[in-house]
A and B are shown apart, each in its own frame.
Chain A
Amino acid sequence: MSNREGEGCPKKICDAAQANLSLPVIAAFKVFQQELDTKHDKYEHLVKISRDITIESKRSIFLLHRVTSLPDAEDALNEADVKLDGVRQKIGQIAEELRGEDIYQFHRAFTPGIQEYVEAVSFLHYIRHRSLISLEEINAKLVFMRTEKGSAEAQPHAAQVLTFQVMPSDYLLGVADLTGELMRMCISSVGNGDIDTPFQLSQFLRQIHDGFSYIGNTGPYEVSKKLYTLRQSLGKVEDACYALRVRGSEIPKHMLADVFSSRTTLIDPDEGLV
């Protein structure tokens, strides 16, 4: 009998001993704890930078929407450029954070910010040059010089080049978002009595749409979702051009905006902005 009770007791003692950190299993898990915490911290930090990038990029996009109605567009464009320079500094922080890491391990942490940046920078590029910015042009701007703090080596060139490569999938999704902005730009330029821009835009959007149809569903999963929104935007712009062509010659310029706004509300009351 005493023997049987004896079986229960050592187990309790054993339980208490498990709090003891000298056990090999516990010691191993201490190491795992540290490793996981470092990883999660890094991830959180990247998410935070990505959010800042998103906010700043959104602001530049809003600024760029104002360009069409301003007398001196060049000023606003330069201001947007300065803002985007700030964003690029933040991307530099991401690059720094990812130094020596597998970029794909943390990709999900910063992909929203990068997509928004691609959207902003390509929007600026379109307004300036009326063409699509290429992936290389984006990447070329994301080269950072970092001065090395560890002076122990005392190298002659203390500056180190750090680059960030936007992934093709992020580029693709950013360009898909760009089309939404272009649609808004088209509508607002009609409001300003600008007759040429809508036609340019519809042509450009059609090219992008064809490009996306060419990629089809071989791309990432989100592309097919964005393709649907892209179709809607294209439809709106094409309808706008149609309205301008048919009624433009009949209606006095100052009334164009009214005609147009009544048409668009008829087509689709919600904004295809995602």
Chain B
Amino acid sequence: MSVTEMFSYIQGFLSADHDVREDIRKVVQVLEQTAREILTLLQSVHQPSGFKEIPSKCAKARELFCTVQTQMADLKTKFPVEQYYRFHEHWRFVLQRLAFLAAFVVYLESETLVTREEVAQILGIEVVREKGFHLDIEDYLAGVLIMASELSRLAVNSVTAGDYNRPLRISNFINELDSGFRLLNLKNDPLRKRYDGLKYDVKKIEEVVYDLSIRGLAKEPEAGGDK
């Protein structure tokens, strides 16, 4: 094989690779759009009026997740499944966002930590790599960490809205998460960086709880209501 032939073979490979990436990018853009819509929808829980509408907002978000599922199915057709990690960086960001949104919805509904299986089910993907397009564990954990900072914000805003009990529940939840993350041996990677931010979320929520308890506000909702 001559040098020229070899290089034109490689060039053929590279342009095929380029085309696949282009296709993936298009689908990921659509996914990002849907993720933003869900985020906008859920952002309204920070409004004072939004607290009463949490169940309806969650139901709407769940509907939008159905759109995500079809878009995910579309993404799966764009490349051979065993080459997941070759193109991983294209959807890593949006997948983390979606994991966060799914975790947030589940938290708002039941105040529990979403499992990896649940996230995969909400997004219409698999948990283990062998079965197809899956949710990488690091992406799941990153999504959970994004939720932690969202919850610290929610704690502040729920006080403003007069819900003095929520911060206590959030505090317990975040503390549990924190001790969970402490079990992990993280390498010096983006996940580690994000985990380093968790302590600030913990601190912020603890301050809110402190403020509430020092004023005697952290009690049953009826007692907090007449303030």
Contacts and interface: CB of A to CB of B under 8 A. Distances in A.
Say whether A and B bind each other: yes
Interface of A: 3-4, 7-8, 11, 14-15, 18-19, 23-26, 28-30, 32-33, 35-37, 39-40, 102, 104-105, 107, 131-132, 134-136, 168, 171-172, 204, 207-208, 210-212, 214-215, 218-219
B175 A18 contact: yes
Contact of A11 (B18, B171, B183): B171
Contact of A134 (B1, B115, B177, B184): B1
B137 A35 contact: yes
A29 B183 contact: yes
Given A25-B113, A134-B6, A215 B11 contact: yes
Q: For chain B, give the interface size range.
A: 35 or more
Contact of A33 (B11, B138, B185): B185
**Chain A residues touching B, majority SS:** helix
A33 B172 contact: no
B84 A102 contact: yes
A134 B4 CA distance: 11
B41 interface: no
B11 A4 contact: no
A261 to B, nearest CB: 30
Given A4-B216, A11-B168, A30 B176 contact: no
Contacts of B8: 214
Contacts of B112: 24
20 contacts: A4-B218, A7-B213, A18-B179, A24-B113, A26-B183, A29-B180, A32-B183, A36-B138, A36-B184, A40-B187, A102-B83, A102-B129, A105-B88, A131-B3, A132-B1, A171-B10, A172-B10, A204-B3, A210-B4, A219-B14
Nearest to B87: A104
B82 interface: yes
Given A25-B180, A29-B183, 16 more contacts: A4-B218, A18-B179, A26-B176, A26-B180, A36-B138, A37-B185, A102-B82, A104-B85, A105-B88, A132-B2, A132-B3, A134-B6, A136-B1, A211-B3, A211-B4, A215-B10
Contacts of B172: 11, 14
A36 B6 contact: no
A168 B18 contact: no
Interface of B: 1-4, 6-11, 13-15, 18, 82-86, 88, 112-113, 115-116, 129, 137-138, 141, 168, 171-172, 175-177, 179-181, 183-187, 209, 213, 216, 218-219
A18 B202 CA distance: 15
Contacts, number: 117
A25 B177 contact: yes
Given A18-B179, A25-B176, A218 B15 contact: yes
A168 B14 contact: yes
Contact of B86 (A35, A36, A104): A104
A219 B7 CA distance: 11
Contact of A212 (B7, B88, B181, B213): B7
Contacts of B179: 18-19, 26
